[in-house]
A and B are shown apart, each in its own frame.
Chain A
Amino acid sequence: MRYCFCAILLLIAGCRYSANNPDPNDTVLYSAHSAKVRGLDPGDVGDTTSAIVASQMIECLYQYHYLKRPYQVVPCLAESMPAMSGDGLVYTIKIKKGVRFYDDACFKDGKGRELKAGDFVFAWKRIADIKYLSKNWWIFDNKIIGLDEFRQYSKTCKTAADVDYNTPVEGLQTPDDWTLIIKLKGRPWPQIVDLLAHLPTAPMAKEAVDYYGKDIINHPVGTGPYKLKRWHKGSYIEMVKNPTFRDEFYPSEGEPNDIKNGLLADAGKKLPLTNRLVSVLIQENPPLWFLFLQGKIDVSGIPKDNFSEAIDLRQQLTPEMKARNIKLFTFRDPSTYWFGFNMEDEVLGKNLPLRMALSCAVDRDKYIELFTNNRGEPAYGFIPPLMSSYNPDIKNIAQTSYNVQKARKLVKEAEQIYGSKLPTLTLAMPGTDIVFRQEGDFLKRCFKDAGLDVEMDYMDWPTFQNKIKTKSAQMFTLGWIGDIPDVENFLQLFYSKNISPGSNNFNYSNPEFDKIYEKASIMPDSPEREALYRKAEEIVVKDCPAVFLVHGVAFILTHDWAYNVKPHAFAYGTAKYRRVDEAKKAAYSELLRTLK
């Protein structure tokens, strides 16, 4: 028994990563994640943490330019930007020659083979395969000629093994190994380029799927700058430089301030700039924060509980952080949070003054202060401020700013429409823990001040989702984080053909909006499309199907030995650009001693 105990201790000790780096030439970047890494199979990645980790090893046809803003898509595995036919229905993409999958046991002799256009076709058919149950079918749903038919065909197969991936799909053709032709189903799809920079569209080697089977979620096989070395579930993931990585260089252009901020010092250097990446996986925030303060994590977010320790009232670093040479980066998230109304609800759906009263009753500034540590901007529409189609005038258009007097007046109007005193409304919250309950207490109070009785219904996530899908939630708290810079991603949430169980949880329907959406969503990026997006948002905010609460602002802290840190709202595979100064890192423990 004692030996058994010792063995367990040794195992645990073996699982711990060491932040002391004995080799000065070996550079290591330590990052931390507080959510689980669910799996590293790109076709089925559905959560941010898994996507961040997998993106260091797996690449897509396109990627975002690391430094340029507004966000710009540039070729990655593709040779150049896609060639589009005149009607916008056929895309021809040339793939870089000589790109190799990294060495893995799944390939012949363990040597990674060259990437071919067929690997993309295989990966996308796999997402279409109903037996594979990918979370990412929404990307290709009703877009490419023959792919939906392939999905139907996979439905008829008895088992997953029966699905024949050699079944041709008309819309996905590979005239040679380096050319990919995508034919669309009669409707242009301008978002395709952004989506081809999205991890689920990454190529997949058939050998890897055959070799690992279901275990593929633990064995990413990509073409990226890093390859997986070790993954101790729930402890850490270690990635090492991929020796066969193609020639990719640090960008030499960026924003005007980038030279001043030292972000172009490494211009033209071969990527990646760091030898190893270690992602520490700890679900509790306090230990993560202490590891960061001790210098054992190089880049970190700020846990809610430690916010006042790191950031002062002017939203600047506190003297304690400055003394540690810690740097702060803030950037706008492509996110909007709201509580939505079920427009099919008897009470809410037909009562615009009531919906507006609820919106006017919420003190957004106080909400942001209490629940986000001021890491947010008040929202009055759904398009986040970092998007080019954001309308700075949306607050005046919506007419739903915090105003208790106005809310009370609107409640009286609402009562007249309803015919009697308004009944108690119910707001569904997707969690039962104290954070949700405090939020509920706050909102309840806001509504009460306006003379509205609202009850909170706290529930777990599956119950919540079920309520929304079955249209049985009267009001619900939710949000959306944009996957791509195209605002169509947000607009589709209000399109009448997407109502529940689709993504339009509001069950909102407005023919005028639908018309604009249908027109704008197939237009290429242009000032004209932007104007249409704004018009569509205007229609929505005037109908008030939701109380738009807050747009997220993210805060990132780094130690001074981590270079080339520039937060990016959409790109995940950015560790290859980062550089670590090990000498500076080694001096940090000395600095900590003097600070004590």
Chain B
Amino acid sequence: MSNLIDYLKQDVRADEALKACMNCGVCTAICPAAEFYDYDPRRICDTVQRGDETEIECLLKSDTIWYCGQCMSCKTRCPRGNVPGELINVLRRASQELGYFTESEKGRQQKQLMNTIGKNILDIGYCVHPDKVSPDYHPEQGPIWEWYIENIEEIAPKLGANYHGEGAGALRKISEEDLNEVRRIFEVTGGMELREKVLQE
């Protein structure tokens, strides 16, 4: 890619996410990711704003852009109305589309997310569903979650859910007709293309 800045600006979110950063660092001060990781959203805004192609390519290949937790606290506080968290969405999309995400450990985790959350959406119409929150993979959910999963057919209806049932209600089975419309939307809008790109890289 000869001009990464132009590539990033093709994303409609780019202009709104970064209007003019004055490097005050309020975003970093409020950022939960900056407390946990070696992460500084101010520097990311600065790197993109300066437009140095080599530095932007490094950013797209780095772990750094995958540290943000998308809480969007930065949007509330930025005195210039920038949204560093949304700039991250722009960078992450470009990193995946250009295949740069495979260069970093955190970036490669996108394959896993495509095979969990991305797959759930297409297979069952939910991002998250009790059938997909396995106690083995989620020890932090504790013994009561394990008990719920073991007894879900007895407990879910007691709470008013329609677990795997036809028609309306919590945890209902989403019909094939409805799922096919969602899948078709993914095909028409580029969702499937991004999925295949990430899984094939």
Q: Answer yes or no: do A and B interact.
A: no
Chain B contacts to A: CB under 8 angstroms = none
